[in-house]
Amino acid sequence: MPFDPELDNRLSATLKGRKGFERKKMFGGTGYMLNGNMCVGVYKEFLILRLGPEKYAELSAKYDDLRPMDITGKPMKGWGMIDAAACDPLEFDELVSASEAFVRTLPGKNFKHD
């Protein structure tokens, strides 16, 4: 199944005006990089979130539909995925903002392109 373009548009609109984000195609969907670090994305109908282990544990207790990100058969620690259809606009923004807050604590990456 290809990624959900409506979800990608929803995510793009949520991130509009926030500094440092760059959209990239990846893993059959889209990823939004923040200062060179993957932050959030869209995979199929799922919103992908980089939360860090502590915030993931906190939010997975709040959101029953939030589960470990697993698109390869190996769950990624500190990453989550949720069917975005299960999120109202405030919940969606809370999850995206939580990812942004975590990724802003990471050192930026500078890539050199030839």
Q: Note the pLDDT tens digit of each residue in 76-93.
A: 999 999 998 888 999 999
pLDDT band at 3 (very low <50, low <70, confident <90, very high): confident
Please tell me the pTM assigned to this model: 0.90
- 114 has a pLDDT exceeding 70: no
CB-CB neighbours of 86 under 10 Å: 14
Judged against a pLDDT cut of 80, whether residue 53 lies above it is answered with: yes
Where b means 16+ CB within 10 Å and e means fewer, 22-41 reads eeeebeebbbbbbbebbbbb
Cβ burial, residue 17 (10 Å; 0-12/13-18/19+): exposed
